[in-house]
Each structure stands twice: as C-alpha cells, then as structure tokens.
Amino acid sequence: MKTNEFIKEDYEEYNDEAGMVKSNLHTIIRSAEELEQLIHDNENMAEWAQEKLAVVKSMIVTVKDYVASEHSRDAAKTVAETTSGATSSASVATSIDGGAGFGNSIFMKRDVPKKAKKK
C-alpha cells in the first residue's frame, strides 16, 4: 500500500462524523423511550441508576451547548465576512473633523512638509 493510499483510507474512515453522531442519538432516543415505558410511576430506582441517567443528561446537554455555540460562532463569522466586504469608500474614510465629510477625511488631507530653512 502506498503512503497516499493509506492517508486516503484513513481520511475516508472519518468523513461521516455527523452520520455516526445521529446514529448514536437515535439509539439514545430509542433506549430512553423504552426505558421510560419500563419505569412505572412512583417506582423506586437504585441510586446508581439515577446517577447514571443524571450523568448522561449532563453529557448530552454539554455536547448540545458546544454544537450550538459553534454554529452561532460560525454564523456570526459568516455575517462579519459578508458585511466587511460590502463597505463603501465613504464608510472607510474616517473624518478628522468629526464627520465634516469625505473632503476632510484622513485620505484626502494632504499635509505638505515644510522645507527646512537653510542657514
């Protein structure tokens, strides 16, 4: 096997993360629904079982919050990239005189250095 074939196989092995996550979530949902049906109202549960469910809940909420934050950050980044390319020269030119117009912007002001007097 050539090196690039190995890299290609290794890459293909991990190219369906979303599918794997969704498959795991469907299994979790199905198991949770079945467990809910098995548990009778007012039934006593072993403390270890209650604790395991609390840990699973915490882990799922943590992953959900992470994915939501990543999507929110990506959306904000996309909006920032979209709007940053649409600026006009008038909005880029910053006025020295506090908004007196484009003619007084830092891009239009031309200070010619004074020549030093010869002695």
pLDDT digit string, tens, across residues 77-116:
888 888 776 554 444 444 444 444 444 444 444 555 566 6
Say yes or no: 58 and 100 in one domain.
Answer: yes
Same domain, 23 and 67: no
**Whether residues 56 and 31 fall in one domain:** no
| Sequence letter at residue 30 | R
Both 4 and 31 in one domain: the answer is: yes
Same domain, 39 and 49: no
- The Cα–Cα gap between 97 and 66 comes to 46
Cα distance between residue 77 and residue 83, in whole Å: 10
| Structural domain boundaries enclosing 27 | 1-43
Q: In the prediction, which pLDDT does 114 show?
A: 61
Q: Which amino acid is at 66?
A: Y
- Residues 20-75: pLDDT tens digits? 999 999 999 999 999 999 999 999 999 999 999 999 999 999 999 999 999 999 98
Using left for φ > 0, alpha for ψ between -120 and 50, and beta otherwise, residue 47 falls in: alpha
DSSP label at 97? T
Kindly tell me the burial class for residue 102, based on how many C-beta atoms sit within 10 Å of its own C-beta (0-12, 13-18, 19 or more).
exposed
